[in-house]
Amino acid sequence: MTLFLLIIAAIIIYYFFIYKDNNRRSFFTNNEKRCPNCRNIVEESFNVCPICKETLQKRCESCGKRINPIWKYCPYCENPIKK
């Protein structure tokens, strides 16, 4: 019986102190853009991460719009993206 109560107490402590805190943190970080490499918070206008220099966006050679570096085609002008 004591073991059962200990397990229930551990679950309650986990829920109130760890689980709720993790959800609260994810609520605030969901609206922020993060570097895919180091998970550092970056601004929308950054071309590279200031921490690890990961390329965050580049310009399409055809239309000049900023695009995600992993895309294979520009969504604005449909031009293939060179690596």
Tens-place pLDDT, residues 39-55: 899 998 899 999 999 99
pLDDT tens digits, residue range 22-80? 555 444 456 788 888 998 999 988 999 999 999 999 999 999 999 988 899 999 999 99
Q: Residue 45: phi, psi to the nearest 5?
A: -85, -5
Q: Residue 67: phi, psi to the nearest 5?
A: -135, 165
pTM attached to this predicted model: 0.52
> What is the gyration radius of the CA atoms in the chain, in angstroms?
22
Q: How far apart are the first and last CA of the chain?
A: 63
> Which strand (E) or helix (H) includes residue 22?
helix 20-29
Eight-class DSSP state of 15: I
